[in-house]
């Protein structure tokens, strides 16, 4: 790690807010994840989906367009403001908040969680909290669907924070059963071969 570029405090909303305010949002492709489009039609239709770290709501809007109640959470005010401005469906909901302190009324209330570039955006020390928080939000037998980067090389300037699949296993295995994993047929241009989709079921 270059000492001139200390790790930014990624658990501080001000870091992310500054990125949205300055327009340094290279992760935001302005369109839903192609892998989400591919897989959502193959699953039993969920009634209610949580999208943690939803950014400007590309995936939430897509789910809502399928008449699925989709709740996006992000702690960057500018991201949520943009998401709300772009919203056009009553199925689309946004909450300005921290995924590590979600409201009690959300507990056990989601059929599905869609993870897309949130896990790699949080500090590694918070991964256990992330998995616990997602577990708490799902109803019994709820599904966790995520697209994860396969790149295991560490970066001098996260995000994204890198991880290995066995690192994911270590965190998810006590709480979730891996139902399936596959390389997506569709992805954003430039991410070919870089991602894997994993489908987990909540353990009781």
Ligand X SMILES: C[S@@+](CC[C@H](N)C(=O)[O-])C[C@H]1O[C@@H](n2cnc3c(N)ncnc32)[C@H](O)[C@@H]1O
> What is the binding site for ligand X (CB under 6 A)?
16, 27-28, 53-55, 58, 73-76, 79, 98-100, 116-118, 121-122, 159
The tokens for 94 are 């946004």
Q: How far is the CB of 204 from ligand X (least distance, A)?
A: 26
Of 102 and 143, CB closest to ligand X: 102
For residue 169, the minimal CB distance to ligand X (Å) is 22
- Give counts: helices (H), strands (E), the chain: 6, 7
In sequence order, the β-bridge partners of residue 193 are: none
DSSP 8-state symbol, 151: -
Give the nearest distance from C-beta 27 to ligand X in angstroms: 4
Nearer to ligand X, 30 or 44 (CB): 30
Strand order in the sheet with 69-74: 92-96, 69-74, 48-52, 110-116, 138-149, 195-202, 176-182
- Nearest approach in angstroms of CB 126 to ligand X is 7
Instruction: Tell me how many degrees the CA angle 103-172-111 measures, rounded to the nearest 5.
Output: 50
CB closer to ligand X out of 3 and 80: 80
Determine the Cα–Cα distance for residues 99 and 162; give it in Å rounded to an integer.
20
CB of 90 to ligand X, least distance (A): 22
Helix (H) or strand (E) holding 112: strand 110-116
Nearer to ligand X, 22 or 140 (CB): 22
**CB-nearer residue toward ligand X: 122 or 145:** 122
């Amino acid at each position: 790690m270059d000492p001139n570029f200390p790790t930014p405090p990624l658990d501080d909303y001000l870091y992310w807010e500054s990125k949205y305010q300055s327009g340094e949002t290279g992760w935001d492709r302005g369109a839903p994840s192609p892998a989400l489009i591919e897989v959502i039609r193959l699953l039993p239709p969920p009634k209610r989906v949580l999208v943690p770290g939803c950014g400007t709501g590309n995936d939430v809007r897509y789910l809502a367009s399928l008449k699925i109640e989709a709740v996006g959470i992000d702690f960057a005010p500018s991201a949520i403001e943009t998401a709300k401005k772009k919203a056009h469906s009553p199925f689309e909901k946004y909450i300005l908040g921290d995924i590590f302190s979600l409201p009690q009324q959300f507990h056990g209330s989601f059929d599905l969680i869609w993870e897309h570039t949130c896990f790699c955006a949080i500090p590694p020390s918070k991964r256990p909290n992330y998995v616990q928080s997602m577990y708490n939000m799902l109803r019994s037998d709820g599904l966790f669907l995520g697209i994860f980067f396969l790149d295991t090389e560490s970066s001098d300037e996260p995000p994204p924070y890198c991880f290995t699949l066995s690192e994911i296993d270590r965190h998810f295995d006590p709480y979730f059963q891996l139902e399936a994993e596959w390389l997506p047929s569709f992805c954003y241009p430039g991410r070919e071969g870089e991602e894997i989709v994993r489908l987990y079921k909540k353990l009781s």
